[in-house]
Amino acid sequence: MREVIFDTETTGLDPKTGDRMVEIGCVEMVGRVETGRTFHAYFNPDRDMPPEAERVHGLSAAFLATKPRFAETAGELLEFLGDSNLVAHNAGFDFGFLNNELELAGRTPISLDRMVDTVALARKKHPGAKLSLDALCTRYGIDRSHRVKHGALLDAELLAQVYVELTGGRQIGLGLVDGPTESPALTEITPNAPWHRPSADNPRREPRPHMASPEELERHRAFIAQIKGAIWAD
């Protein structure tokens, strides 16, 4: 099953009052395993950037003024999203901004039937606990030390790891994928999967041999020969 994990950055909290989406980051997963395919874009919102929003994501009006408008890249984004379910943290917020941009661009909004909210999943699995992305990364031991400011693609990559933990743990992606698929290496953990990368606390180790050596087999035969009245010798 293909899913897209995504996150957005915006000029504020409410598209109905003129706030706009300025960044989107998407991560493709199939069978709950990252394939390495991503989509990332910045957008010119044609408006100022409130200081409180810039403090969160670090995107200035001057930086965004050189970026394309959403309508110019909407087709590429929709092609990447396809008809997959879309997973986001506090998904109503992200869907609200995404669909607002689609409507402004004259495009059809995305059905909320495709929405998967990881806040709702986390609330059900960990009632009463903190549900922020940072809190869930801490709970599941996911490294977020490189997250100095919010960033749509970075947050989507972190959320992809959180989503796997919320839906059964990392072993869920090791099953075989049913039927043909155009995405590469989907029946094994890909090198781009964050937990597949070596780190200081998770160094890469050479595989250990699991076959008995000829010397070990000979010692085993000698040991078996010493057993008197063995039922397998009848």
- The residue with tokens 């403090």 is 55
Distance CA 225, CA 234 (A): 13
Distance CA 82, CA 75 (A): 11
Does the annotation mark 150 as catalytic?
A: yes
CA torsion, ordered 102, 108, 113, 118, to nearest 10 deg:
-10
Q: Which two tokens stand for residue 150?
A: 């919010």
Choosing from 40, 57, 89, 150, the catalytic residue is: 150
Catalytic residues: 150
